[in-house]
A = this chain, B = another copy of it.
Amino acid sequence: MLVSALLTSLGINSGLCVLFFLLYSIISKQPSNYEVYVPRLLAKGNSRRRSHFNLERLIPSTGWIKRAWKRSEEDILSSSGLDALVFMRIISFSLRVFSFAGIIGVFVLLPVNCMGTQLHEIDFTDLSNNSLDLFTISNVNIGSKWLWIHFSAVYIVTIFICYQLYNEYKYISSERIAYFYSSKPQPHQFTILVRGIPVSVCSSVSESVETFFTEFHPTTYLSHMVVHRTSKLRNLINEAKTLSKRLLHLQSEPSQHTYRHIGLFGQRVDLVDHYGKKLVDIEQSVRLEQSNVSLAEETRAAFVSFKSRYGAAIAFHLPQSTNPTQWVTEQAPEPDDVYWPFFSSSFMRTWISKLVVIVACILLTILFLIPVVVVQGLTNLSQLETWLPFLKSILTITFFGQVITGYLPNLILQLFLKIVPPIMEFLSSIQGYISHSDIEKSACKKVLWFTIWNIFFATVFSGSVLSKVSIFLEPKNIPAKLAVAVPAQASFFIAYVVTSGWTSISSELFRIIPLIFSLVTRCCKNTDELEVPSLPYHRDIPKILFFGLLGITYFFLAPLILPFLLAYLCLAYIIFSNQFINVYMPKYETAGKFWPIVHNSMIFSLVLMHAIAIGIFTLKKLSIASTLLFPLPVLTLLFNAYCRKRFLPIFIAYPAEVLIKKDKEEASVPAMAEFYDKLVTAYRDPALMPIQYSVNSESLNRPLMSSADF
């Protein structure tokens, strides 16, 4: 790739970004789009749908950019919770790291690379005509002493990143503890989930739980709630919901055709009447089913609540039974966070479904390469013509040829990648996790490794799927192969940051899909229904982390990537900060449990970078440097092991010290009695709540009692 090509791409994408920003600042001011751009403010009632026209609406403003950039952490924490703060910290952490690496890269490494003559001498008279490769380490002469500067840079940046990682882990774990101290009593703090409850012939699950916990936890046990199989019920309730919506729509517009012929020769029926009757019928069967379910259909799982957080922690931490596959305990999620479908209760089923999902994920990750390779085949026109000869006449037209080779492959690839997070979320959901947050965390990991494999390694190592896999079966040769393949793709990834990174982040701001969806459904939508979205962490965290990986691995190979990356991160900071104010509302709170994923990803990036560096120095015939680099990955992994010991336990469970202090603090608070009353019913399956759609329509928007009022 030539510098000029990069500049063109840069121009186009900067233009697009500016355009997106301008459009956003106009479109988002139109009241009809408030649902898309400020649903959160709408839901809070902070932003009214002004209907009168106003010239100000059409003038782009920049105030929001400044507001978003200057937003304080306390503000984010108080309005969006710790998870949002952690998300913003990922970006600000990357900004810090790549600012430091950027200074070294651009002002020290880049001049060294340019001075080299290995590939070619740089033509300073016509800069834009130079190949981008001249700015990479490939241009440094073999055996050159200048490579020691790269060597030092690798050491310095690794130390800097590790130092930052340590501080960040420390900061976030202290924030996590502080968050816990400042939280009100919440049902999930007092509750555990027990699975694999053994049942004797003559007793029910509920009796079994009662007996066990009154015997072994007599002082702390409060109550329990057995989980039921409610998938049938759930379908009925959904049916009732749809029907009542349709009914409401019909009632609100009485002018429209409310009569219809029923049956082949049937008489005309009043549809409102008809639907109303049907709804009453369904509600009847829901009630019948509800009473049946609570008697039979118990799963061998139950939420068990305790009188204190410490009591719940004891039951969670201690192995309960002589058979470790029975009475398996885990921390309960927030009541709203429970994922009721796919509630697997037995140890074996959970274990097997986990194994199946892991295999499915690995297969998906590896086999995803096949469509990618086919799509990339599109870039090769002549090959396409031999595959699909009937296209020959069309492809000879330059315009079509350019579209097909230039944009289509990338577009198809991006579309393919768009469906990955939902697929991974689905896979995680059948893996046996009991909460939306766990599902999302697991999906986040899956998407991250998927991205690293299918974008980084698939691009770097061309060839068949098997040949890629086989590289990792010969660990000895990995550095050498990386050293050849990775620098060769430097210009591709620089362009990738500019095109894919900048565009995707702008489209996040512009919310194209929700906007289109809103435009399409606007005509027939019930305006009272407003769903405030939550940020899909499993989609966005892997994206940012992948750019982090690119930055860390390429900073010494092709320092030119860093300015573009920094621009991306600044955009991301502004846009996500803005979206947290206006759009996203947290649905649950993991209190920073996403950070360990970030930490591990950074460590992986570092070690990958070291492997590449070792390979490069060997290739450049500076074997002392590559030998001297060997301790670095080892030390990095030791650093990671230390961090796992020092910080990770805090992210798994709160320590006794904290729990007891918090319990003591609240022991004398009079509101606790009321809280315990609520706690008893907090984990009731929403499908078992009494429903009422037929008579009054007011209850429609809140048909399920939520436990958010705790």
Contacts and interface: CB of A to CB of B under 8 A. Distances in A.
A11 interface: no
B473 A324 contact: no
B314 A645 contact: no
A382 B475 CA distance: 39
Given A325-B646, A355-B638, A470-B476, A319 B655 contact: yes
A320 interface: yes
A177 B322 contact: yes
Contacts of A470: 476
B473 A475 contact: yes
A216 B660 contact: yes
A655 B321 contact: yes
Contact of A474 (B313, B314, B474): B474
Interface string A322-350: 11110000000000000000000001000
Given A317-B318, A476-B470, A323 B216 contact: no
A197 to B, nearest CB: 13
A322 B657 contact: yes
A536 interface: no
A381 interface: no
Contacts of A375: none
A351 interface: yes
A570 to B, nearest CB: 34
Tallying the copies of this chain within the complex gives: 2
A321 B649 CA distance: 10
A650 interface: yes
B319 A653 contact: yes
Given A314-B314, A317-B317, A660-B216, A324 B655 contact: yes
A509 to B, nearest CB: 38
Contacts of A654: 319
Contacts of A638: 355
A67 to B, nearest CB: 35
Given A355-B638, A474-B474, A323 B658 contact: no
B322 A655 contact: yes
Contacts of A476: 470, 473-474
Identify the interface centre among A215, A318, A320, A470: most chain B CB within 10 Å of its CB.
A318
Contacts of A319: 649-650, 653-656
Residue among A177, A645, A653, A655 facing the most chain B CB atoms (10 A cut-off): A655
Interface in A17-73: none
Contacts of A475: 473-475
A319 B313 CA distance: 10
The winner among A323, A470, A473 for most chain B CB atoms within 10 A is A323
Interface in A111-155: none
Given A351-B642, A474-B474, A657 B321 contact: yes
Nearest to A215: B660
Given A473-B474, A476-B473, A324 B646 contact: yes
A449 interface: no
A-B pairs, 10 with minimum CB distance: A473-B476, A324-B649, A319-B655, A317-B317, A318-B656, A474-B474, A317-B318, A319-B649, A320-B656, A216-B660
6 contacts: A313-B318, A314-B317, A318-B655, A319-B649, A319-B650, A351-B645
